[in-house]
A and B are shown apart, each in its own frame.
Chain A
Amino acid sequence: MITLTINDKTIHTQVGRSILEVARDNAIWIPTLCYHEALKPYGGCRLCLVELETPRGSRVVSSCTFPAEDGMVVHTNTKTIQQSRQIVAQLLLARAGHVPFIRELAASVGVNDTPYTLPQDTCVLCARCVRACQEIVGMSAISIANRGSDRVVVPPFKISSADCIECTTCVLVCPTDAITLDDITDSSRTVHEWQSEYARGACRLCEYTLNGN
């Protein structure tokens, strides 16, 4: 067992958990976007940042990736943290302000408007789909291409991937509904973003079916 404090609350927990997990177990709210319980922590959205008090001064870390340690002093809502969350939320609004989930997320950190302008897209590049395809499904049928603000999630060479097993896990884990699934006919369906067309039916791996059949 280890003991740490989060927002001056003393917490006892076992070794091997992240600060975020410990906080959530104790009903301490930390906003997240790229985090998903079923996936390895990614540290990409930076909404879950917290501030640590250390002997060498304060340190800002992502709570989803940082392990809870004995004696740790964590603050989840300092001025620095609030400010960085708000700017991240403003950037998200600039990218995907038309997405209800993003507007709600921004509102949860006190942001309803953005001073920035970015090319709009429903995908916010949290990479949950890519990670799910790799970590859970084990197929890596989609991946991230390009760098920086040109990043996109695509199947290899932007053409329908032979590795896709039609499990639609990517659709399930996407927080912004950027991946769209449509039934074309009674017997086939498409995931538009991956340019794929499949026989409509159960997942080849687990036989899970989405939207009936």
Chain B
Amino acid sequence: MKKLDTPQELDAWRESCKNELDHDRLRLRVCDGTGCRALGSQHVLTALRQAVNGNNVEIMTTGCPGFCEQGPLVTVDPQQIAYQQVTTKHVHKIISDTLGKGEVISELLYVDPSNGQPVTTESELPYYKSQMRRVTDLNGQIDPHQIEHYIAHKGYMALSKALYDMSPDGIIEEVIRSQLRGRGGAGFPTGVKWKFCRQSPGDEKYVICNADEGNPGAFTDRSLLEANPHRIIEGMIIGARGIGATEGFIYIRSEYPLAIENLNIALNQAREHGLLGKNILGSGFDFNIQLRLGAGAFVCGEETALMASIEGKPGEPRPRPPFPAQEGLWGKPSNINNVKSWASIPSIIANGAEWFAGVGTEKSKGTAMFSMVGKINNPGVVEVPIGISLRELIFDAGGGIPDGKSFKAVQFGGPLGGCIPAQYLDTPIDYESLTDLGATMGSGGLVVADESTCMVDLARYFMNFTQEESCGQCIPCRWGTKVMLDILTRICNGQGEKGDIETLEQLANTVKTASLCGLGQAAPNPVLSSLRHFRDEYEAHVYDKRCPSKVCWK
């Protein structure tokens, strides 16, 4: 295909892509994300392909729509009949009954646990009904290997607008006005960060996408990277135009092979069509993106360590200042954002800042993606307006706690976040309220704990993680987390001593204050927040030699 040279050519191509993606067509959409693959979607796909051979049925592989618990997911269009937990033995029935006679197979439908009623269509599923899908709207709706699908759904239209109808400063102003805050966890205003980088002197600048999603239990970035890589790429090109960067990097962890495959395909397609590389869309703007694979170090998600890793150096952070916007990759001004931040950009440019800021709270605008795991009925990925309560998130979208058990706490923000107990279930979720409770938004990973979870044991688990992942450059993080883990392990083994809790607390406070980078500064959060909300559990372990949840020293 010839490279697109003008916005008009892109518009014309969009029309033909739309026609090809005929919405009334008989089609099976099969989720081929990592979650469904693990549950056997590839066997289902092979069987479906063999079974429909020669018939006028399209089989579309999609990325993850988020309802991982019920996979493998197969959706029948145009009726949008949503089948769950499909196996190879269901394949012939789907072909003969649903495709052949238009009958719905009731045993494959999701049953709403609240009323025992089966749910037929995708849009009626309670899991999706409680969400507001703006960044993830195309997850599960398009084939991530087909740029035509993204184009048909207004893909790269925002880029065309940014290149032809907006100045670089105008792009940055729009993002500032949208009040988008960094979705990687810190919540710094994205547009303001871009402005710093734009204003930094220098001809060579870099933009970087942080896709080193390392928190245990977090997989929001993965679902976007797998299901709609073009949206991230489009966001990065727009950002590069605003900042004045000519080179971009996506730093992605090598544990995400499918995301890497899909990204590579998408990058090549964008280059082939003149949407990436030299003279993008004939505008004269040059920008390219390269992939860099992480090698399994959690600390490389920290921006300065990430840049060191891209440079080929050991993944160790360095003190700031200088900030990346002043001296980043190879000493050049650089701007680094999380996957979800980049993916939020195209719709802000296309629909305007007011549209984006139309939902959310006073200081936190837009929607946020969360991945939920642990003691919850519907583990998976959701997107909701910022400001909904924890109760809505966990009990509506998440479907509540399994086996009739009661909710105890949720670990918000992974090993660098904190736990939030049941009495705060009605707190609106935004950056400030989470920080006030001793947790963080983090990268959107939630681990749900029920009455059978020991909070001391959970804190020990996360401390074990950060202690192993500490790079070891600074003393508080290198040895402080080690001593903290030793104390926690002792407490969990029933060998806690008088004074352990106080020593732990004092050490935690210093590691938080004195560590060099964000990892060390946040590593004590699980301990500090569980001490704050569940101090009685620590005391029971140390003084009564008793684990209230009956988890420790079985």
Contact = CB atoms under 8 A, between A and B. Distances in A.
B21 interface: no
Contacts of B483: 91, 94, 116-118
Interface in B451-509: 467-483, 486, 503, 506-507, 509
Nearest to A42: B473
B471 A147 contact: yes
A31 interface: no
Contacts, number: 97
Interface in B297-332: 297, 299, 314, 318-319, 321
Contacts of B514: 46, 49, 60, 84, 87-88
B319 A95 contact: no
Contact of A151 (B468, B476, B478, B503): B478
B121 interface: no
9 contacts: A44-B473, A45-B474, A49-B513, A49-B514, A91-B476, A144-B314, A144-B472, A147-B470, A148-B477
B170 to A, nearest CB: 29
A149 interface: yes
A42 B473 CA distance: 9
Contacts of A149: 467, 470, 472, 478-479, 482
Contacts of A46: 474-476, 514-516
B516 A150 contact: no
Q: What 9 A-B pairs are tightest by C-beta distance, nearest first?
A: A148-B470, A65-B319, A43-B319, A151-B472, A84-B514, A87-B510, A148-B472, A149-B482, A91-B479
Interface in A5-61: 41-46, 49, 60-61
Contact of B478 (A62, A67, A143, A148): A148
Contacts of A66: 319, 321
A125 B319 contact: no
Nearest to A91: B479
A144 B478 CA distance: 14
B479 A67 contact: no
A138 interface: no
Contact of B475 (A60, A92, A146): A92
B479 A95 contact: yes
B516 A62 contact: yes
Nearest to A86: B510
Contact of A43 (B471, B474, B480, B486): B474
Contacts of A80: 513
Contacts of B477: 148
Contact of B297 (A87, A115, A147): A147
Nearest to B471: A147
Contact of A84 (B467, B468, B510): B510
Nearest to A152: B472
Contacts of B299: 147
B478 to A, nearest CB: 6
Contacts of A92: 475
A83 B506 CA distance: 9
Contacts of A127: 473
Interface of B: 297, 299, 314, 318-319, 321, 467-483, 486, 503, 506-507, 509-510, 513-516
Contacts of A41: 319
A44 B316 CA distance: 11
Interface in A161-206: none
Interface string A72-100: 00000000100110011001101100000
Given A46-B514, A62-B516, A66-B321, A87 B472 contact: no
A41 B473 CA distance: 13
Contacts of B506: 83, 87
A87 B473 contact: no
Contacts of A67: 321
A62 B319 contact: yes
Interface string A96-118: 00000000000000000001111
Contacts of B318: 43
Given A62-B319, A65-B319, A148-B477, 11 more contacts: A41-B319, A45-B475, A87-B480, A87-B507, A91-B476, A94-B483, A147-B468, A147-B470, A147-B472, A148-B470, A148-B471
B475 A44 contact: yes
A105 to B, nearest CB: 12
Contact of B503 (A60, A88, A115): A115
Contacts of A91: 475-476, 479-480, 483
B482 A148 contact: yes
A112 to B, nearest CB: 17
A87 B482 contact: no
Contacts of A148: 467-472, 477-478, 481-482
Contacts of A62: 319, 516
Contacts of A45: 474-475
Contacts of B482: 118, 148-149
- The residue in A46, A88, A92, A144 that gathers the most chain B C-beta atoms within 10 A of its C-beta is A46
A81 B473 CA distance: 20
Contacts of B515: 46
A42 B316 CA distance: 11
A146 B471 CA distance: 8
B476 A87 contact: yes
Contacts of B472: 125, 144, 146-151
Contacts of B467: 148-149
B479 A118 contact: yes
A133 B328 CA distance: 24
A5 to B, nearest CB: 20
A116 B477 CA distance: 14
A145 B11 CA distance: 54
Contacts of B480: 87, 91
A115 B487 CA distance: 11
A94 B321 CA distance: 31
A127 B473 CA distance: 9
B135 to A, nearest CB: 30
A41 B321 CA distance: 12
A119 B483 CA distance: 11
